[in-house]
Structure 1
Amino acid sequence: MQNNHSGLAKAVAKYVHSSPIKVNRILNQIRNRKYKEALTILEFMPHKAAKIINKAIKSAGANAEHNLKLNTDACFIRYAYVDKGPILKRFSPRAQGRIYQIHKPSCHITIILGT
């Protein structure tokens, strides 16, 4: 099933090296907010993922302005969600010759702006 987002500006940040749970915590803060308000909130957040989400929102805003001729002052974040990406699996040595598996998760962040 494919979503039809005609008339909406979209930006996707793929293969972000951060856990989807940590990213979703930040997306909950900006969901359904105005474009400028969301950028202001993200600017003052200390999290690594906040910078990446900020970049994705700016990209969606540029898509809205140039491709759809929308005014970003009237736009708000219609959808903001995160999907799981591939997990890098690494190994670390442990006591008595055992190994310990380290999971390095990644995610895909989708931002959709609308009026």
Structure 2
Amino acid sequence: MITKNSTRTEVKALAQNIHMSPFKARRVIDQIRGRSYEETLMILELMPYRAAFSILKVVYSAAANANNLGLNEADSFISKAEVNGGTVLKRLRPRARGRSYRIKRPTCHITIVLKDKSKKSLEESKI
């Protein structure tokens, strides 16, 4: 999704129903919020968490959306990064004597918004 504001252009990427706890994904998202695109890639590639790979794919998708718009992803930064909880898959695990225990498998939705901070867009907004 691409929206044009009067000051800057922002590009959005959304990944839904990722099989991961939102708490574990937020631990990674908090580290990249507000950083530049290139710095974000370095951080995510070196993080040891499993959530970093899923978030890296969403950041790449947002950069591809920016490229389709004609923006340079090197001049962009992550203006908004959030993780919301998705549906919880409820499964049963068989136990002794015919009983069962419930297993909850959480999912999450990851949203990344890139904004362009290049001089061109700032000069166009002053005109």
* Fold match (TM-score > 0.5): yes
For the pair shown, the structure with the greater C-alpha radius of gyration is 2
For residue 19 of structure 2, what is the aligned residue in structure 1?
17
Which SS does the other structure have where 1:39 is aligned?
helix
Which SS does the other structure have where 1:106 is aligned?
strand
Percent identity, aligned pairs only, is 48
Give ranges in structure 1 of 5+ residues lacking alignment: none
Which SS does the other structure have where 2:87 is aligned?
coil
Distance 1:81 1:38 in 2: 15
Give the helix-richer structure, 1 or 2. 2
Q: Which amino acid aligns with 2:106?
A: P
Alignment pair present for 1:93 and 2:120 = no
Which SS does the other structure have where 2:73 is aligned?
coil
Give ranges in structure 2 of 5+ residues lacking alignment: 117-127
For residue 110 of structure 1, what is the aligned residue in structure 2?
111
Between Structure 1 and Structure 2, how many residues are aligned?
111
Q: List structure 1 runs of 4+ shifted beyond 4 angstroms.
A: none
Distance 1:99 1:71 in 2: 54
Which SS does the other structure have where 1:101 is aligned?
strand
Give the strand-richer structure, 1 or 2. 2
Match of 2:43 among 41, 44, 47: 41
- List per-residue Cα deviations over 1:70-95 (Å, max 9, x = no partner): 21111000000011111110111234
